[in-house]
């Protein structure tokens, strides 16, 4: 669960929280990683618009939006 949030953690967030370095990373660092991930998949999706790639692009974009809005 995102620190400072009263919302229930998503399954991926719970899974990531099991990794010690993920728990100690500043919130801004996780959000920056989400932004980089979204940018990467956006670029990959523009070159290879297959169904699998588009699902990952959509997921990365949604995660980044979630991180920005908290």
5-44 confidence digits (pLDDT tens): 444 546 677 888 888 888 899 999 999 999 999 999 999 9
Q: Give the other-Cβ count within 10 Å of 66's Cβ.
A: 15
> What was the pLDDT predicted at 10?
61
Residue 18 CB partners (closer than 8 Å, separation 6+)? none
Q: Could you tell me the pTM of the whole model?
A: 0.74
User: pLDDT category, 60, cuts 50, 70, 90?
Assistant: very high
> What was the pLDDT predicted at 55?
94
User: pLDDT category, 65, cuts 50, 70, 90?
Assistant: very high
């Amino acid at each position: 669960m995102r620190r400072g949030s009263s919302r229930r953690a998503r399954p991926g967030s719970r899974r990531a929280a099991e990794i010690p370095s993920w728990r100690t990373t500043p919130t801004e660092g996780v959000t920056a990683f989400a932004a980089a991930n979204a940018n990467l998949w956006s670029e990959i999706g523009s070159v290879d618009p297959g169904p699998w790639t588009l699902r990952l692009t959509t997921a990365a974009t949604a995660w980044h939006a979630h991180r920005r809005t908290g």
